[in-house]
């Protein structure tokens, strides 16, 4: 049984609020990222707070420790409940993100293996497994692993164990189905297949039921 996270990659406050309101009651969290925040500013977090579900900032943080900490301060200061970071900058950068998240009462998820075809160049295989081990050692709350490669997500689950969460993108527009990964993960991340649907609430409802 997996939660449903909406990847709200729309532009502008009006569209974001429209989709979030339309999906009310069908989502377990909303994931925001650069497309939305660059078009609205971080104030969008307060605008989405009416949804009364956690807002997770997918900023795929990838910098030196000090910069990572400063980014976390802004994200959690704006009202986010969680942040998604990269791990490839190394254990000190990752620790800065995890620690800053926890200092602000938030959670930190670590990208280990990405869902798109190009992930096979760097963000997969042994690199992904090393990053999963690093995420566990850093005390991260969870990892991001691909619904498009369920066998890889199963392998990463084996590395992190059951005490950390896995959120999994790639369902819908990227071709994966909820049934592919739901037994390995704590949440599926769905973007276009919901926010581009003629009836986003109905689409979200269907994904939520299928993820259960
Ligand atoms: O393909 P969708 O429209 O369902 O959106 C997927 C979301 O998940 C999108 O925000 C993207 O930036 C994010 N994501 C991946 O797609 C793949 C990853 O490995 C990590 C994050």
Reduced to 3 states (helix: H, G, I; strand: E, B; else coil), residue 31 is strand
Strand runs (DSSP E) across the chain, as ranges?
A: 3-7, 29-33, 55-61, 82-85, 107-111, 142-144, 165-169, 187-190
To the query of whether residue 186 is one of the catalytic residues in this protein, the response is no
* 199 is an active site residue: no
Dihedral sign for Cα atoms in the order 180, 185, 186, 190: negative
Ligand 1 pocket, Cβ-based, cut-off 6 angstroms: 7, 9, 33, 58, 111, 114-115, 144, 146, 169, 172-174, 189-193
- Distance between CA atoms of residues 10 and 96, nearest Å: 29
Q: Tell how far the Cα of 207 is from the centroid of ligand 1, in angstroms.
A: 15
Q: What is the pTM of this model?
A: 0.98
pLDDT tens digits, 71-94: 999 999 999 999 999 999 999 999
Q: State the binding site for substrate.
A: 9, 31, 115, 191-192
Interface confidence (ipTM) of the complex: 0.97
**Number of Cβ atoms within 10 Å of the Cβ of 70:** 14
Please tell me the distance from the alpha carbon of residue 74 to that of residue 100, in angstroms, as a whole number: 11
The pLDDT assigned to 50 comes to: 87
């Amino acid at each position: 049984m997996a939660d449903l996270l909406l990847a709200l990659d729309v532009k502008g406050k009006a569209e974001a609020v429209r989709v979030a309101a339309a999906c009310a009651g069908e989502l377990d969290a909303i994931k925001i990222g650069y497309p939305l925040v660059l078009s609205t500013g971080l104030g969008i977090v307060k605008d989405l707070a009416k949804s009364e579900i956690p807002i997770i900032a997918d900023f795929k943080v990838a910098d030196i420790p000090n910069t990572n900490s400063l980014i976390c301060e802004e994200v959690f200061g704006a009202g986010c409940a969680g942040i998604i970071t990269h791990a490839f900058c190394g254990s000190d950068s990752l620790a800065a993100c995890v620690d800053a998240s926890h200092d602000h009462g938030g959670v930190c998820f670590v990208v280990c293996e990405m869902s798109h075809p190009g992930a096979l160049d760097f963000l997969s295989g042994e690199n992904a497994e090393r990053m999963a081990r690093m995420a566990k050692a850093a005390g991260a709350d969870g990892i991001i692993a691909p619904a498009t490669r369920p066998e890889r997500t199963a392998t990463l689950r084996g590395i992190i164990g059951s005490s950390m969460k896995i959120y999994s993108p790639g369902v819908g527009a990227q071709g994966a189905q909820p049934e592919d990964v739901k037994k390995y993960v704590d949440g599926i991340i769905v973007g276009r297949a919901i926010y581009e649907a003629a009836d986003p609430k109905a689409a979200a409802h269907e994904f939520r039921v299928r993820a259960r």
